[in-house]
Amino acid sequence: MELTNLIIWLIPLPPLLAFFFIVLFTNKNNKLSHSIAVGGAGLSFLGAMYVFYQALTTNHFAEHPFGNAITWLNLGDKPFEIGVMIDPLSAIVLFFVAITVLMIFIYSIGYHNYGQPKGDHDKKGFPPHGAAQDGHTVLSIEPMYARFFAFIGLFAFGMFTLVVSDNLLTLFVGWEIMGLCSYLLIGFWFGKDSAKNAAKKAFMTTRVGDVFMLLGISYLFTEAGTLSFKAIFTEEMISHLAHADSYIPGLSVAGLAGILLFIGTVGKSAQFPLHVWLPDAMEGPTPVSAMIHAATMVSAGVYMVIRMFPLLQAGGHGELTTAMTVLAVIGSITALFAATIAVAQNDVKRVLAYSTISQLGFMVAALGIGAYVAAVFHLVTHAFFKALLFLGSGSVIHGMEHGVLHTGNHKVDPQDMYNMGGLSKKMPKTFWTFLIGGFALSGFPLITAGFWSKDEILADAFANGHMGVFWTLAIAAFLTAFYTMRQITLTFLGKARTKEAEHAHETPATMTTPLIVLAIFAIGFGWVGVPEHFPGIGGILPNWFHDFIAHGLPSFIHFETIHFSWTPLITSLVVALGGLLTGWLVYRNATTAENDPIKKLLGPVHTLLKNKYYFDELYDKVLVKPLAVFSEKVVYEFMDRKVIDGFLHKVAELTFSLGTIFREKFDLPVINEFFGDGTAAMTQWFGEKIRKIQSGNIQQYMIIAVLGAFVALFAFWMTLN
């Protein structure tokens, strides 16, 4: 127990130390740098696995989670404690985070072309352009190779900190450190304006959520007097919070705090309407995308809101609370909305980005309707297959870049799916793993993890009668399957549409091995959560996941067991298989982006979708530009310079003119000329006159003195007479 606690404390540290080591000492040495980073991630992985194993094998683990706390501060008479805690939820999150992080670290070595020569024209701040070698142009190593590993180390530290935290404050610390890392990594190729802007956008958009979250934390801290999960999620505290009125009529403290915290998630997990940063985040190197989309950042948002579920459901007594309704609505909208956009994207990573938003919407919606276990389940499975998909797409891009370098035609965008085609033969490992990931995302029945988790969400929605959510998610699931198949078809199937695609090349083992590992999880992890009542295979494997996670919730929250129903099962089968089939049928003969079948079908709607419903433009027009103008013109130039300084200047001017008037009308004529100069002139005149007495002739002086003597004598006589 002691050892376990110690290890929990130590889990976040290796990546952090790796970060400092690389930044301070080894940044010149690529090999040492990546060794340290991967070693750090490996140590964290080992620690996480040890803790996870302990969690599995400890009896009554849910009632007695691991962890301890130390006093961080004293506020007034009360100590403020921070600590670590591993309960079932964080154990499972730690599990997938550790695995995906390690895989991404390993993958990055290959992705950044370790072992390749230095580029001839490569500059720091720009992606590598390739190097000439033996008459060929080959991939060149990333010029800021070591720096990348430092940054992802810090990123991993943030995520681990967030997961092992036993309180909202340290969770927030990890949360914000990830925000910084996303800024640094999305803007990794900071020389490009697009990357620079994307980084700024990501940071600022998530910060919108963060400040609300900060308020939520403050509010919760105020009302509960603590931020420790254990202390808040007690029956008395939750009931107290549920019954205390907040500032907003009709909303309890728990509800308002929950919504404020959820806005943090909206930012971090890119929920509607703060989703705009996530697609742009594709400007970063692909491992970063995987990091953000699967292992760390967006998962963190969902993890936090799942963690806060007891608060969100407080006062609902099984019914949906206001906060949960908000979640359900936002989640459903996001799921559908992002899925529609994904349909119209041609960039291989952008499709995945929107699919992430959409899938996160699934989780949020699931939580909103109270499907706690389903939300966690989908979070985990999604992490695996989305990491897989991103790394796979990175592998594809890498292969395409190889082709681009070969032909030397740099106008070809290696990320545009219409420039690909037929890659399955060139890159078989990538193809098969990507296929697994894609099927998992689509919810391909029975064998993929995505099916089980998505099915559970739909089943929950149906069983509890949230039909709006159910149908919205079902349509979204159909679209998911459709665009996934579209992507697979355009990328891997058919014939190569460009020369570059013909010369694409399978990527090195450092990249493909992580793909294979993740593919295993993308399939196998679904089997830990097969519902007991599932026809045919239900009950063969115990529904371990449900038991494990559901027990992690405080005992006063009750779940009703879901009765099996055919409707959701059939629905999920139909949408998954139907979507995949439609996708293949529509796109198997696609040729160019202009002839996109969907484009013909939808017409102007396609343009709307392709332009992401013009959200970026809208925000730019309504918020970003006006605020920039407001800052510069109104606040600074008008308010400060004109009004306040103007007032001060007026006062100064008034004083100045008063002074001038005093000087010119009073000081100069009256004081100077009359009193000043006048006195001087008089004195001078008098002196001129009187100085003649001062002759130096003593006898003359004496005559005057004697006159005085006479006067004295005379006066004496006069008085006595």
Residues 336-355 that bind another protein (CB under 8 A): none
Q: How far is the CB of 642 from another protein (least distance, A)?
A: 11
Is residue 653 a contact point for another protein (CB under 8 A)? yes
Q: How far is the CB of 24 from another protein (least distance, A)?
A: 10
Cα three-residue angle 596-597-598, rounded to 5 degrees:
90
Report the greatest alpha carbon distance in the chain: 155
Is residue 77 a contact point for another protein (CB under 8 A)? yes
List 250, 535, 536, 696, residue binding another protein (CB under 8 A): 696
List 53, 556, 614, 636, residue binding another protein (CB under 8 A): 636
For another protein, the closer of residues 635 and 661 by Cβ is 635
Here the tokens at position 390 are 């991103």
Give the Cα separation of 431 and 175 in Å (integer).
Answer: 34
Is residue 663 a contact point for another protein (CB under 8 A)? no
For another protein, the closer of residues 177 and 371 by Cβ is 177
Is residue 434 a contact point for another protein (CB under 8 A)? no
Residue 507 · residue 113 · CB < 8 Å = no
For another protein, the closer of residues 133 and 695 by Cβ is 695
List 169, 573, 608, 671, residue binding another protein (CB under 8 A): 169
Is residue 689 a contact point for another protein (CB under 8 A)? no
Here the tokens at position 519 are 């593919």
Instruction: Collect all residues with Cβ–Cβ distance below 8 Å to 670 and sequence separation of at least 6.
Output: none
Q: How far is the CB of 85 from another protein (least distance, A)?
A: 18
For another protein, the closer of residues 537 and 703 by Cβ is 703
Is residue 694 a contact point for another protein (CB under 8 A)? yes
Give the Cα separation of 163 and 9 in Å (integer).
Answer: 11
What is the distance in angstroms between the CA of the first residue and the CA of the last residue of the chain?
127
Is residue 215 a contact point for another protein (CB under 8 A)? yes
Q: Which among 384, 342, 341, 338 has a CA at the least distance from the CA of 361?
A: 338
For another protein, the closer of residues 605 and 635 by Cβ is 635
Q: How far is the CB of 678 from another protein (least distance, A)?
A: 25
Give the Cα separation of 93 and 457 in Å (integer).
Answer: 18
For another protein, the closer of residues 467 and 707 by Cβ is 707
Pick left, alpha or beta for residue 311 (phi over 0 → left; psi -120 to 50 → alpha; otherwise beta).
alpha
Residue 445 · residue 535 · CB < 8 Å = no
Q: Which class for 582: exposed (0-12), middle (13-18), buried (19 or more C-beta within 10 A)?
A: middle
Here the tokens at position 140 are 């060149």
Residues 598-627 that bind another protein (CB under 8 A): 627
Is residue 721 a contact point for another protein (CB under 8 A)? yes
Number of residues counted as binding another protein (CB under 8 A): 84
Here the tokens at position 667 are 């000081």
List 219, 233, 277, 521, residue binding another protein (CB under 8 A): 219
Fill in the amino acid letter for 397.
I
List 31, 63, 64, 78, residue binding another protein (CB under 8 A): 78
Q: How far is the CB of 248 from another protein (least distance, A)?
A: 11
List 50, 190, 527, 613, residue binding another protein (CB under 8 A): 190
List 13, 138, 214, 574, residue binding another protein (CB under 8 A): 214
Q: How far is the CB of 144 from another protein (least distance, A)?
A: 8
Q: Which class for 117: exposed (0-12), middle (13-18), buried (19 or more C-beta within 10 A)?
A: middle
Q: What are the angstrom distances between the C-alpha of 335 and each of 142, 146, 251, 263, 593?
A: 36, 37, 26, 16, 25
Cα 338 to its chain centre, rounded Å, is 18
Q: How far is the CB of 649 from another protein (least distance, A)?
A: 6
Is residue 414 a contact point for another protein (CB under 8 A)? no
Residues 557-576 that bind another protein (CB under 8 A): none
Q: How far is the CB of 444 from another protein (least distance, A)?
A: 41
Here the tokens at position 516 are 């294979």
Residue 315 · residue 254 · CB < 8 Å = yes
Q: How far is the CB of 73 from another protein (least distance, A)?
A: 5
Which DSSP string corresponds to 305-319? HHHTHHHHTTT-TTS
Q: How far is the CB of 286 from another protein (least distance, A)?
A: 20
Q: What is the DSSP letter of 225?
A: S
Is residue 124 a contact point for another protein (CB under 8 A)? yes
Is residue 631 a contact point for another protein (CB under 8 A)? yes
Q: How far is the CB of 611 from another protein (least distance, A)?
A: 25
Q: Which class for 180: exposed (0-12), middle (13-18), buried (19 or more C-beta within 10 A)?
A: middle
Q: How far is the CB of 4 from another protein (least distance, A)?
A: 23
Residues 10-49 that bind another protein (CB under 8 A): 23
Give the Cα separation of 268 and 248 in Å (integer).
Answer: 25
For another protein, the closer of residues 73 and 581 by Cβ is 73
List 200, 230, 240, 499, residue binding another protein (CB under 8 A): 200
List the alpha helices (DSSP H) in 113-225. 145-164, 168-186, 193-224
Of 5-13, 213-221, 367-375, 447-455, the segment contacting another protein by CB under 8 A is 213-221
